[in-house]
Amino acid sequence: MMSETALRDLNTLPSSDRKNESSSKGSFAKPFVGSANENVDVSLVSTHVNGNQTGNAGPGIANSEVEYIDSENLIDVEDIDTSVKTLVAGLDSKDWVVVCEALNNVRRLSIFHKEAMLDILGDVIPLVVKSLKNPRSAVCKTAIMTAADIFSAYNDRMIDLLDPLLVQLLLKSSQDKRFVCEAAEKALVAMTTWVSPILLLPKLQPYLKNRNPRIRAKASMCFSRSVPRLGVEGIKEYGIDKLIQVAASQLSDQLPESREAARTLLLELQSVYEKSHDSAPATVSDSPEMDSWENFCQSKLSPLSAQAVLRVTNIAREGLVIGS
């Protein structure tokens, strides 16, 4: 179930982009230095927010610069104990530069010393969520990158802390500010890669019915990516009948991303269903017609939903035949 905070956060999407934000700013693919002085009065600082340099640059500089560093380019912290002890205070600072530095230290500790941060993860993640809500793009994007590294490091060990992170990433991936949206989408991919699908799917399912179509679309894409990771036996144990109902409900959704995710999921389910029946030992009383994918769909779905599902899977099958 979603936490009350997560439900509250879904009631309001972030405000639309400011006109002076470049969509190419803060590229997630490579380190980038971009202006981060929008909309908020800050002290005059010049910082490389990779933990190496922060300080007062004097009255001659009116901007601050933030460097977004890919995970593979981060360097280790100099002092583990000091970094851990000062982490929570840094994340909760009113100085956004200090917050960005602390977020990057969370990333470093996640990558190089994940056990050292495990005991305070329950304090760290709510503060990362707080930074995800920050209106300053530099803080928000650094927090998104931090979330991706947390997923990679802690996997299922942070599942009880996932809800508020998940809802914020869905919100950020659904907004119009492109470079924030792209970073959030990559964090969601990290989530579906590193968190076990058996634990993640129940967390995602409520968002498939969210009133915001963009939220539904992003959740559908995550759901579709997670199901194949169950494997054939895992899908059968989870319940193909449950999964086909989820996919069928998304086929008629408003946004094409939802519908495409549903089609991808249905083809996966069809493949698993047919493989499992092909490998099952035959008996005298077995009827191929009764065990067919078509009959299965018709037995588990309403007539209209079954028709829509079969149209999708039959078209795909015909395409394979024509292409062979």
Q: What is the pLDDT of residues 72-81, one digit of tens each?
A: 999 999 999 9
Element (H, E) at 215: helix 213-226
Q: With 80 as the cut, is the pLDDT of residue 116 above it?
A: yes
Per-residue pLDDT tens over the stretch 125-142: 999 999 999 999 999 999
Strand partners, 53: 48
At 104, list the tokens. 């990057």
pLDDT of residue 10: 64
pLDDT at residue 49 above 90?
no
Digit-coded pLDDT (tens) for 236-278: 999 999 999 999 999 999 999 999 999 999 999 999 999 988 7
**pTM over cut 0.75:** yes
Asked whether 154 and 114 are in contact (CB, 8 A), the reply is yes
Q: What is the pLDDT of residue 79?
A: 96
State whether the Cα torsion 233-237-238-240 is positive or negative: positive
Secondary structure (3-state) at 32: strand
- The tokens of 140 are what? 């928000």
**What confidence score (pLDDT) does residue 289 get?**
60
Note the pLDDT of residue 117: 96
3-class state of residue 283 by DSSP: coil
Terminal CA-CA length for the chain? 45
User: What is the distance, to the nearest Å, from the Cα of residue 13 to the centroid of all Cα atoms in its chain?
Assistant: 16
Please report the pLDDT score of residue 288 as a whole number.
55
Q: What is the pLDDT of residue 54?
A: 41
Instruction: Delineate the domains of the chain, giving CATH numbers in brackets.
Output: 1-8+24-36+69-192 (1.25.10.10), 196-278+289-324 (1.25.10.10)
